[in-house]
Amino acid sequence: MRKIKSTILAALTLIALNLSAKTDTIQVKGSVGMLSAIVQKPELQPGQKCQMVIIAHGFMGNKNEPLLKDIAENLLKKGVASIRFDFNGHGQSEGKFEHMTVLNEIEDANCIFNYVSSLDYVKSVSMVGHSQGGVVTAMLSGQLKNKIKKAVLLAPAAVLRDDAIRGTIMGVMYDAANPPEEIKLLFGNLKLGGNYVKIAQTLPIYDTARQFTGQLCVIHGTYDRVVPYTYGERFAYEHKGSELHIINGADHGFSQHHNEAIKFTIDYLTK
């Protein structure tokens, strides 16, 4: 009976926390325009502070993907704030997709970092990034060194440099030695700018990520056909004390291993 009562009390407490939590849609100035972002903040007492997690989507993605939304919701249940946003040229943010590069996405993420760092209720900042957002997370964390407490990389797409050198992206082939000004993608009626390729070909992904002095967790699937999991393993192997989770059978988006990827993420960020 006592166990039932305690379970009911815990459930009611969780409901109360969720009802008193706050969700705001905001805009933050980014590298080429305004970035659309959603901030979820737990109920806090005056003067109380909490952790903040920046959540970054991948190539052609957006802030409202189910995986990212569920990470934010689960963080909120643990009393952790989050901000998920659309990179320039994606979702509801300003800018054109064909002008997007990994470098200006890093600048976007840094603008988000500066914004959340200015909030009086934030005591520490961590990051989560999926796919290309994982590369952005790894590189920005390296640039900021110890300013990011924890970084979680979900299927980080470090393969993008090798793909750019080979002259292929998302099934489209091109002359890597002389990239065209625009590359028409097979999905979404989108065009990728040649500058994206030129930057990607020399992007110091692992060298920059290696400078990160915070805590690192890498989560990748063995059935990832977009980014082989060995790219994720390298991030973990090159960072002392990192945590690595290779999920057997998981694809690039963790579509059939959604809950498992989320649990690893939340457990790491809140322990």
At 98-154, the pLDDT tens digits run 999 999 999 999 999 999 999 999 999 999 999 999 999 999 999 999 999 999 999
The DSSP line for the chain is -HHHHHHHHHHHHHHHHHHH-EEEEEEEE-SSSEEEEEEEE----TT--EEEEEEE--TT--TT-HHHHHHHHHHHHTT-EEEEEPPTTSTTSSS-GGG--HHHHHHHHHHHHHHHHT-TTEEEEEEEEETHHHHHHHHHHHHHTTS-SEEEEES--THHHHHHHHTEETTEE--SSS--SEEE-SSTT-EEEHHHHHHHHT--HHHHHTT--SEEEEEEETT-SSS-HHHHHHHHHTSTT-EEEEETT--TT-TTSHHHHHHHHHHHHH-
pTM of the model: 0.92
Q: Which residues of the chain have pLDDT under 50?
A: 3-19
Domains of the chain: 23-270 (3.40.50.1820)
